[in-house]
Structure 1
């Protein structure tokens, strides 16, 4: 069996990964979540599929992550094939502001950047470090990071989206972290990949782009890259595309940041 661990598996893309992967009985899927209280759909799916293992942990707490890795290790005899880093969030409330809006607001700027670094960069490093020994003993030896177009310089430059400052910085930073792991661990046969999932129809995306005016703004921005874009793609479509990239990941492509299409086509 191929063993997979997915963070942020309660909903959206993370849940999509668990749903897709667990549909194959040859996969063992570990859904890493923060709390079972909000994991209704995941609980229902796990009740139907015996190859889903729900693991409650805190990706911001290295000690709890070590405990989660130990829990996984008991089931897999000390190994893990693929780790998917999906958990993350755009925080805090200032995420909608452009850089100049922070002029004279030192604490707000520090909070905007630091909270995102904590939630979208440090936490992912903690997860990697907790599970790295299991990955070393796995067969596939892959680590994949669900990044964002927000962390890409050219995407930002062309679309003209100046908001989500801290989130963009954290995603771009984590892309580099993944590349650093790729070059460091190459001799061990471990491969990494950062992927933009595309514009995906998740609850989180709907909360941002559901407003007609905001949706119009984003569509106008995205049309600068692709005039044919009409809206977000289904979770299932994004997940299937990303998993294809992970399954086909070679040593030559390790450490890259690509779109869900495997290139620079964002939509």
Structure 2
């Protein structure tokens, strides 16, 4: 049996991972969430599939994460094969602003950067360190960070995306952090990967690109990279592609930042 833990498993891509993985009874799936209050679809799925365990915690609180890791350890006998860091946040409303718009708005700039770094970078380091001993005892020994193409310099340069400043900075920073973990833990056989899910049809994506005018702008920008892109892909398609990349992860690719196609140029 392969054990998987997914943070941010209440909805969207996180829930997609839980759904896809739990189809196979040989997988033991831990859905790590912040609250059961908004976890209706996950609760319904877990009631049907006994290989899903829901773990409630706060990824910004190391003491609560230690408790969550202990809960997982009790079930697995002290190990975890794959940890998927999917939880994150798009940050404050200022995410729609480009860098120059923060001139004279220094407090807003600090909030834009700091909130995103806290939620999308520091909290993920907390999670990795809390579950690392379990990963050390696992068979697969894989730590996966669900990143974003917006954290890639070349993607930003070509598309001309000047907004989501803090989010992009935090994702890019966490990509580097994953490489640091890879460098440190390689001798233990632990492999890491930053993985872009693509442009995915989630509620979070709709909140950003749902407006017709915004969608038109986004499509125009994305087509500078890929003239054939017409819209977001489904959660299931994204998760299926990502799992193929995760399962094929070797020491040779550890620490890299890849797309859901397993390369560094097909972002859609």
Does residue 1:36 correspond to 2:36, yes or no? yes
Distance 1:153 1:209 in 2: 21
- For residues 193-228 of structure 1, the C-alpha deviation after alignment (integer angstroms, 9 at most, x for no partner) is 000000000011111111100000000000000010
Cα shift readout 1:55-94 (whole Å, capped 9, x = no counterpart): 0000000000000000000000000000000000111110
* Separation of aligned partners in 2, 1:106 and 1:228: 40
Extract structure 1 runs of 4+ deviating beyond 4 A.
Answer: none
* Structure 2 partner of 1:260: 260
TM-score, with length taken from structure 1: 1.00
| Distance apart, 1:48 and its partner CA | 0.2
Paired position in structure 1 for 2:137: 137
In structure 1, what is the equivalent of residue 14 of structure 2? 14
Length-normalised TM-score, structure 2: 0.99
Report the secondary structure of 1:138's partner residue. Answer: coil
Q: Displacement of 1:99 after TM fit?
A: 0.1
Matches within 5 A, 1:1-267: 1-263=1-263, 264-267=265-268
CA deviation string 1:149-201 (max 9, x = no partner): 11000000000000000000000000000000001100000000000000000
In the alignment, structure 1 segments of 5+ residues that lack a partner are none
> Number of residue pairs matched?
267
Shift of 1:104: 1.4
Instruction: Output one character per residue of 1:95-130: Cα deviation in whole Å (capped at 9) or x when no partner.
Output: 000000001111111000000000000000000000
SS, match of residue 3 in structure 2: strand
Residue 245 of structure 1: how far off its partner (Å): 0.7
- After superposition, the CA RMSD in angstroms is 0.4
Per the alignment, in what secondary structure is the counterpart of residue 30 of structure 1?
A: strand
